[in-house]
């Protein structure tokens, strides 16, 4: 027993002597040195479309965002995420502010076709203090009214393409053709899944939209022909690295919002996987994904 204790003491002493000798001689330490993560601040800003959590309350949505380390939200009038009632909307905005969550867009917003409805929804978005209204399924006849209110309220309108099922705007190219020559504050929200199903080249669409690109809704698919083939980002066939490179090339200033539309009652596994993939992709491109 005593021999073991002496042997152990000599071993420790010899280790300390060796470490001291190494420090005096300038030799590298025998342990790993802590170093900070390297990389450039990411030009891609990741956000969330609240429709992803359409079956959950605002309080639950806020909790999920904290788990995901997200602070940027595209909020929709779904559940109590961003109600159109003025008093309820004020309370929602206060809850988000208290949680450190910033709203960069509202939508998708749908117009019923009458003038009063369109006016009330522009007022709704203006009250929220967000710069972008994402609009779904407008008709060409609505565009003059949208342009008039864009000028009145100084909001950017991002028309959301809805794929082959959309009569007027299946792809971003259809949006761009319709708004050409209109106020530059009218542009696109590219939904990458719907655009791919409409046969659009996503990289080309990003470059074509350029300064008229105001929002991105991202998801992934395993088939360009099947709407039901949606999966977590990174598990499908959409070219995310190339899309991110295109967004960087056009100096896109908006947000890339995950809109995960499957597993509505239990979306978090797919949502977590999607952000892990996108953050990992940005890290691989040399950026600080959380900066």
Annotate 92-160 with DSSP letters as a single string.
Answer: HHHHHHHTT-EEEEEEEE---SSHHHHHHHHHHHHHHT-SEEEEES--GGGHHHHHHHHHHHT-EEEEE
Q: Pick 44-288's CATH classification: 3.20.20.150, 1.20.810.10, 3.40.190.290, 3.30.450.20.
A: 3.20.20.150
Question: What is the CA angle 60-260-47, rounded to 5?
Answer: 70
Q: Give the residue-averaged pLDDT of 194-202.
A: 98
Q: Above 70 in pLDDT, residue 19? A: no
Instruction: Note the pLDDT tens digit of each residue in 213-252.
Output: 999 999 999 999 999 999 999 999 999 999 999 999 999 9
pLDDT at 27: 52
As a whole number of angstroms, the distance between CA 175 and CA 157 comes to: 11
| pLDDT level of residue 18 (50, 70, 90 thresholds) | very low
| pLDDT level of residue 13 (50, 70, 90 thresholds) | very low
As a whole number of angstroms, the distance between CA 115 and CA 204 comes to: 35
pLDDT at 29: 54
Q: Give the residue-averaged pLDDT of 152-161.
A: 98
| pLDDT level of residue 3 (50, 70, 90 thresholds) | very low
Q: Give the residue-averaged pLDDT of 9-24.
A: 41
pLDDT at 84: 97
Please tell me the pTM assigned to this model.
0.87
Q: Above 70 in pLDDT, residue 8? A: no
Q: Give the residue-averaged pLDDT of 70-80.
A: 97
For residues 240 and 202, is the Cβ–Cβ distance under 8 A? no
Q: Above 50 in pLDDT, residue 165? A: yes
pLDDT at 30: 58
pLDDT at 149: 98
Q: Above 50 in pLDDT, residue 4? A: no
Nearest to 108 by CA among 133, 83, 71: 133
Q: Above 60 in pLDDT, residue 255? A: yes
Nearest to 233 by CA among 203, 206, 257, 198: 257
Q: Above 50 in pLDDT, residue 32? A: yes
How many contiguous H segments (helices) and E segments (strands) does the chain have? 10, 12
As a whole number of angstroms, the distance between CA 248 and CA 231 comes to: 25
Q: Above 80 in pLDDT, residue 15? A: no
As a whole number of angstroms, the distance between CA 53 and CA 89 comes to: 18
Cis amide linkage into residue 37, ω under 30° from 0: no
Tokens of 17: 């002597």
Mean per-residue pLDDT of the chain? 91
| pLDDT level of residue 113 (50, 70, 90 thresholds) | confident
pLDDT at 289: 79
46: helix, strand or coil: strand
pLDDT at 70: 98
Contacts of 40 by beta carbon, 8 Å cutoff, 6+ apart: 286, 287, 288
As a whole number of angstroms, the distance between CA 214 and CA 226 comes to: 26
Percent of the chain with pLDDT over 70: 88
Q: Give the residue-averaged pLDDT of 88-113.
A: 97
């Amino acid at each position: 027993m005593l021999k073991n204790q002496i042997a152990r003491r000599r071993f420790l002493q010899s280790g300390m002597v060796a470490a001291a000798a190494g420090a005096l001689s300038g030799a590298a330490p025998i342990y790993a040195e802590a170093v900070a993560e390297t990389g450039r601040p990411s030009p891609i800003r990741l956000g969330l479309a609240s429709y992803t959590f359409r079956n959950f309350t605002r309080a639950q949505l806020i909790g999920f965002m904290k788990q995901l380390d997200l602070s940027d939200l595209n909020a929709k009038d779904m559940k109590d995420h961003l109600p159109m009632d003025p008093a309820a909307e004020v309370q929602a905005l206060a809850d988000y502010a208290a949680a450190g969550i910033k709203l960069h867009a509202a939508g998708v917003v749908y117009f019923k076709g009458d003038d009063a409805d369109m006016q009330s929804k522009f007022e709704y978005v203006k009250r929220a203090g967000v710069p972008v209204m994402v609009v779904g399924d407008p008709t060409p006849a609505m565009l003059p009214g949208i342009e008039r209110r864009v000028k009145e309220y100084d909001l950017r309108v991002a028309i959301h393409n809805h794929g082959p099922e959309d009569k007027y705007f299946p792809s971003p190219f259809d949006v761009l053709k319709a708004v050409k020559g209109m106020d530059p504050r009218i542009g696109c929200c590219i939904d990458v899944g719907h655009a791919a199903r409409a046969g659009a080249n996503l990289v080309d669409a990003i470059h074509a939209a350029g300064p008229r690109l105001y929002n991105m809704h991202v998801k992934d698919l395993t088939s360009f022909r099947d709407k039901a083939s949606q999966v977590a980002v990174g598990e499908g066939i959409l070219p995310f690295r190339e899309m991110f490179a295109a967004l960087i090339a056009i100096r896109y200033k908006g947000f890339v919002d995950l809109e995960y539309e499957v597993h509505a009652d239990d979306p978090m596994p797919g949502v977590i996987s999607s952000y892990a993939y996108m953050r990992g992709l940005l890290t691989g491109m040399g950026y600080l994904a959380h900066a």
